[in-house]
């Protein structure tokens, strides 16, 4: 008897939530990758007002032209000449990713994905009928992929490569030289670049390095307002590309996935972009201070090595405790009241690492690190 699709049966629930489900209410949580701030007040008010004004209907599939135009302009420093037609508003980065994979992947194709990874990528590729080929982002290389390793994986069925900088879970960021090498690799093999840049506004040193503005016509950029304006629960993001042919296909696909994004919310995001334009920098400054604190604390503990990320909201230290894999270690740490994610939840090479999201106050971070220090001491003295 036929029951469910092979597609549904082939995907597994994400391991990231597992620890979360085991945690009590009183833990210090480094678990969730969402900013612990509220969206700008102007956006909340604009949302409410837009609903009162009757913006409660379907919008065009690609979204409110004024918002799309504003988003296109916001990339002017990287790429001039884009307008509303280059943008499709989506119901989150998550929605944007699936939309892109469904648009460019055929059965039998494969897609190069980073590992450790944001857990949606692989299942998205398989839902689209393709195969995920994982390329390593190693601690030794500050989590930046190496072209020689990519060359060993790519084959005639590879249609795209996904880059994610700043990265979840590693916090890895690129410099321009590294970006150009990865760009050349994609060009050489005629691959689509899917660039997941949802953390583009949370960078700590200089300007974000983007794949936008490189004049490579097969670049599709995914972004989201979840992190930029602390709107994870609102579910709104976008796809932007200089490639209008690709945008037309993506917008067509978008119609069949969700018809359009949320009407009133698009006015709210426009208001945030116009009236709270400093907000992303303010939260980035706070994340930078937290990042410095947590990295310093982690590196002071025996057996712990942690790179100092230049963006996003995560650290991904290497932590060695004899006799414990990363999941067992995360469980021991949880017993002492601290929630973090085992590195293995982000792919096999995450083994030996833990992910800490610094989405809690500096005081909480300090208290959490005190507890972690005691747990590691206890385990190491066994
Ligand atoms: C790397 C990365 N991409 C995409 C997303 C999706 O964000 P959203 O669906 O909230 O827009 C996330 C969320 O954590 C992420 O970390």
Q: Does the residue 23 lie in any domain?
A: yes
Ligand 1 pocket residue status of 35, Cβ below 6 Å: no
pLDDT for res 150: 98
Q: Are 305 and 299 in contact (CB under 8 A)?
A: yes
For residue 198 and ligand 1, the question of a CB distance below 6 A is answered with: yes
- What does the pLDDT look like over 58-95, one tens digit per residue? 999 999 999 999 999 999 999 999 999 999 999 999 99
Going by pLDDT thresholds of 50, 70 and 90, the confidence category of residue 204 is very high
Q: What is the pLDDT of residues 147-202, one digit of tens each?
A: 999 999 999 999 999 999 999 999 999 999 999 999 999 999 999 999 999 999 99
Question: In terms of DSSP bridges, do strands 314-315 and 131-136 run parallel, antiparallel, or are they unpaired?
Answer: unpaired
| Ligand 1 pocket, residue 178 CB under 6 Å | no
313 with 247, same domain?
Answer: no
The CATH number for 344's domain is 3.90.1150.10
What is the pLDDT averaged over residues 36-52? 97
Q: Mean pLDDT, to the nearest integer, of 10-29? A: 81
Domain that holds residue 223: 41-275
Global confidence as pTM: 0.96
In this prediction, residue 25 carries a pLDDT of: 77
Evaluate whether residue 1 is within a structural domain: no
Ligand 1 atom closest to Cα of residue 236: 11
Mutational test site, ligand 1, from 227, 228, 239, max ligand atoms within 8 Å of CB: 227
Nearest CA to ligand 1 atom 13: 33
Q: What is the pLDDT of residues 97-146, one digit of tens each?
A: 999 999 999 999 999 999 999 999 999 999 999 999 999 999 999 999 99
Is 50 within a domain? yes
Last residue of a domain, one of 232, 253, 275: 275
Q: Are strands 304-305 and 318-319 parallel, antiparallel or unpaired?
A: antiparallel
CATH of the domain at 186: 3.40.640.10
């Amino acid at each position: 008897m036929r029951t469910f699709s092979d597609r549904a049966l082939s995907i597994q629930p994400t391991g990231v939530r597992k620890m979360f489900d085991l945690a009590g209410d009183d833990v210090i949580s480094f678990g969730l990758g969402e900013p612990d701030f509220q969206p700008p007040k102007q956006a909340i008010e604009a949302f409410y007002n837009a609903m009162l004004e009757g913006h409660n209907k379907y919008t065009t599939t690609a979204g409110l032209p004024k918002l799309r135009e504003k988003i296109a302009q916001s990339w002017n420093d990287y790429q001039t000449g884009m307008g509303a037609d280059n943008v499709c508003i989506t119901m989150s980065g998550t929605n944007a990713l699936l939309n892109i994979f469904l648009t460019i992947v055929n059965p039998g194709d494969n897609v190069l994905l980073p590992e450790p990874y944001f857990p949606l990528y692989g299942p998205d590729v398989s839902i689209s009928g393709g195969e995920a080929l994982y390329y390593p982002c190693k601690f030794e290389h500050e989590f930046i992929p190496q072209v020689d390793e990519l060359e060993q994986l790519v084959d005639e069925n590879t249609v795209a490569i996904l880059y994610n900088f700043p990265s979840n879970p590693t916090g890895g960021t690129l410099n321009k030289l590294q970006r150009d090498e990865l760009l050349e690799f994609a060009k050489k093999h005629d691959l689509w670049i899917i660039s997941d840049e949802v953390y583009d506004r949370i960078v700590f040193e200089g300007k974000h390095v983007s794949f936008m503005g490189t004049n490579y016509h097969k670049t599709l950029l995914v972004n989201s307002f979840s992190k930029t304006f602390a709107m994870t629960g609102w579910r709104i993001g976008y796809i932007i590309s200089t490639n209008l042919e690709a945008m037309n296909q993506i917008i067509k696909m978008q119609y069949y996935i969700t018809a359009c994004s949320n009407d009133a919310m698009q006015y709210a995001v426009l208001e945030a972009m116009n009236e709270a334009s400093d907000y992303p920098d303010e939260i980035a400054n706070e994340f930078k201070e937290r990042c410095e604190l947590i990295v310093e604390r982690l590196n002071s503990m025996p057996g712990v090595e942690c790179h100092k990320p230049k963006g996003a909201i995560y650290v991904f230290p290497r932590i060695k405790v004899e006799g414990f894999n990363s999941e067992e270690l995360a469980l021991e740490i949880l017993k002492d009241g601290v929630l973090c994610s085992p590195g293995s939840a982000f792919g096999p090479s995450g083994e030996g690492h833990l992910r800490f999201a610094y989405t809690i106050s500096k005081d909480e971070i300090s208290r959490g690190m005190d507890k972690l220090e005691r747990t590691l001491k206890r385990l190491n003295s066994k």
